[in-house]
Amino acid sequence: MNLQTQITADVIELLKSLIACPSMSKEENGTAAIISEYLSAHNIPYFRKINNIWAKNKYYNKDLPTVLLNSHHDTVKPNPNWTLDPFAPTEKDGKIYGLGSNDAGASLVSLLAVFHYYYYRTDLQYNLLFVASAEEEITGKNGLELLFKENDLPKINFAMVGEPTQMQMAIAEKGLMVLDCSAKGIAGHAARNEGDNAIYKSIKDINWIQNYQFQKSSELLGPVKMSVTIINAGSQHNVVPAECNFTIDVRANDQYSLEDILETISHNIDSEVVARSMRLQPSKIDPNHPIVLSGKKLGLSTYGSPTTSDQAVIPYPSIKIGPGDSARSHTADEYIFITEIEEGIDIYIKMLKEVII
């Protein structure tokens, strides 16, 4: 059995262990321990901060460029429609069922396999840095972002972020901004001509949000998308509400910063607007970047991703690529094909072999 085949078999068993250990965001202590145990069993030194685990290749050289291999080991909570036990890794018909199998356990173990495969090589023209991060599903501040903030990681030349993309290359990703808005009115009795109804004021603003189109669209990511997703007002049927609160989900393309979009919205609606965070900016890598060209040589396609990932907090060029299908993420009876893992590992290895930095 050659090295790649052996490592592939090992990480498939590792994936089953990860599935069997609940690891919802902020509760990843168990899976962090399992990943640490895998590294220790293969004599790979590692670092840990909270529930983030990272390691460098054995012959790490600070004078060489560094490639980050990153995926997350937290999951969402299982939805109520599961017919299987989400924490019982079940192998059937070439699939492994279990919570986090597709998002993003398969990507995580595949990138770990590649890191392990190249770990002892003395002829690498770059360093490899593997990071298994926490809190990705909730874009938490104690995940990958923390490691950058506290300078735990070295300078990175580019990153490969593992998410289910059917092993195609997402070379751009929409940013995310959540806005809490409040329309202010004056309370009054509904039976009389009193008050200033905050709901009516919010309707005017919501109509603007529904109909406004930002001028610049993106070739990869399309237009900026705004959606009102929550609304709350009123206390009882006979009181004109003095306040109406609503939430806007904003997905930004690479033509605007979140700051630009916030300024436009604030200027055009009367409601008070507060951004929960400005951290999750849109990202894009040069289509002629060496890692993209390496993937294209293997016949991989490129696209823009509408969903956010840890790419949003990586301050370096990055692509998102991994085994599995995003359509399966967060679904009941989530699964990954074993052949998808095998293919993913093989493609990762070939991309890194061919890349010229």
* The pLDDT value given to residue 265: 98
* pLDDT, tens digit, 9 for 90 and up, residues 169-206: 999 999 999 999 999 999 999 998 889 999 999 999 99
Cβ–Cβ under 8 Å, residues 154 and 66: yes
pLDDT, mean over the chain: 96
* The pLDDT value given to residue 357: 75
Cβ–Cβ under 8 Å, residues 201 and 182: no
**Mean pLDDT over residues 277-301, rounded?**
95
Rg of the Cα trace of the chain?
A: 23
Q: Give the H or E element holding residue 99.
A: none
* The pLDDT value given to residue 284: 92
> What would you measure as the largest C-alpha separation in the chain, in angstroms?
84
The pairing of strands 127-133 and 66-72 is parallel
Residue 1 has pLDDT above 90, yes or no: no
* pLDDT, tens digit, 9 for 90 and up, residues 330-340: 999 999 999 99
Say how far apart CA 21 and CA 28 lie, in whole Å. Answer: 9
* The pLDDT value given to residue 205: 98
* pLDDT, tens digit, 9 for 90 and up, residues 197-241: 999 999 999 999 999 999 999 999 999 999 999 999 999 999 999
pLDDT over 90 percentage in the chain: 95
How distant is the alpha carbon of residue 89 from its chain centre?
23
List Cα–Cα distances, 218 to 31, 221, 254, in angstroms: 38, 5, 7
* The pLDDT value given to residue 208: 98
Polymer length of the chain: 357
Of residues 355 and 208, the one with the higher pLDDT is 208
Cβ–Cβ under 8 Å, residues 342 and 8: yes
Say how far apart CA 86 and CA 108 lie, in whole Å. Answer: 18
Model confidence band, residue 90 (pLDDT cutoffs 50, 70, 90) = very high
Model confidence band, residue 356 (pLDDT cutoffs 50, 70, 90) = confident
Peptide bond into 134 cis (omega under 30): no
* The pLDDT value given to residue 354: 84
Q: What is the pTM of this model?
A: 0.90
* The pLDDT value given to residue 355: 83
**Mean pLDDT over residues 302-323, rounded?**
94
* pLDDT, tens digit, 9 for 90 and up, residues 232-263: 999 999 999 999 999 999 999 999 999 999 99
Angle made by CA atoms 306, 291, 15, in degrees to the nearest 5? 65
* The pLDDT value given to residue 120: 96
* pLDDT, tens digit, 9 for 90 and up, residues 135-168: 999 989 999 999 999 999 999 999 999 999 999 9
